[in-house]
Amino acid sequence: MSTLPFPLAEEPDDATREAARKLFAGEVDFLKGVVAMDGLPPDDRAEVCFAGRSNVGKSSLINALTGRKGLARASNTPGRTQEINFFTLADSHYLVDLPGYGFANAPVAVVEKWQRLLKQYLSGRVSLRRAFVLIDMRHGVKPVDDEIMTLLDRAAVTFQTVLTKADKVKASEREKILAQVRGQLAKHPAAYPEIVQTSSEKGEGIATLRSIIAGLA
């Protein structure tokens, strides 16, 4: 079992931060929603994907990263995003929004179809540089998160944990939650050994995450 400490990712230096800010301030467009593997765009650029259970704040994070409020649709109905949504970031990246998991009220057949597509995508996409697994910092890693991490282990896709809604957690409680998250990550060989702590509302960690993504080109 890994004994990696999983430290919080360091703040980028000024030059790195500014380069990443410029990248994300440039062209970002919705490309397409994909429901089957034959609909995937060509794998001709660096690709990062965002995975997270419903209501983790995935759309809000993507909107905060890109500085565009309506880019990723935040839905009041968990699990509404049933497609793999591709966004172009300049000419260098795809940002990929995966369907939320923990599909509350979806029919079994729909869930199975999503999961099959997810597995095919994760194991068959050569341009995928990293998956970001979003964890609600108020709750830590839940069994459903553990399932997606295991899926990424099996697909040999490096994933980095991004804690969302950090502003909703008191400073005194953060270390306890981080300890729980680190303990869970230690079980997963595909886990990247750094955690990013974010708040879409307050902007915490956004520059750090932008810099990580920019560096994967």
Greatest mean pLDDT among 34-43, 69-78, 133-142 lies in 133-142
Give yes or no for residue 2 having a pLDDT over 50. no
24 burial (CB, 10 Å; 0-12 / 13-18 / 19+) is buried
How many residues in total does the chain contain? Answer: 217
Kindly calculate the radius of gyration of the chain based on its CA atoms and give it in whole angstroms. Answer: 16
What are the phi and psi torsion angles at 82 (to 5°)?
-105, 10
> What are the beta bridge partners of residue 128?
47
> Tokens 């702590």 — which residue?
197
Identity of residue 3? T
Give yes or no for residue 1 having a pLDDT over 50. no
d(CA 152, CA 155): 5
pLDDT tens, residue by residue, 102-118: 655 667 787 788 778 88
Mean pLDDT of the region 158-178: 97
pLDDT tens, residue by residue, 43-81: 999 999 999 988 899 999 999 999 998 888 755 554 455
Q: Residue 32 — very low, low, confident or very high, per pLDDT cuts 50/70/90?
A: very high
Q: Percentage of residues in the chain with pLDDT exceeding 90? A: 74
Return the pLDDT at 57. 93
Element (H, E) at 116: helix 108-124
Return the pLDDT at 195. 98
**What value does the mean pLDDT of the chain take?**
90
d(CA 198, CA 64): 10
For residue 179 the two structure tokens come to 């300890």
- Reduced to 3 states (helix: H, G, I; strand: E, B; else coil), residue 117 is helix
For residue 103 the two structure tokens come to 């599909």
DSSP string over 57-89: SHHHHHHHHHT-TTSSPP-SSTT---SEEEEEE
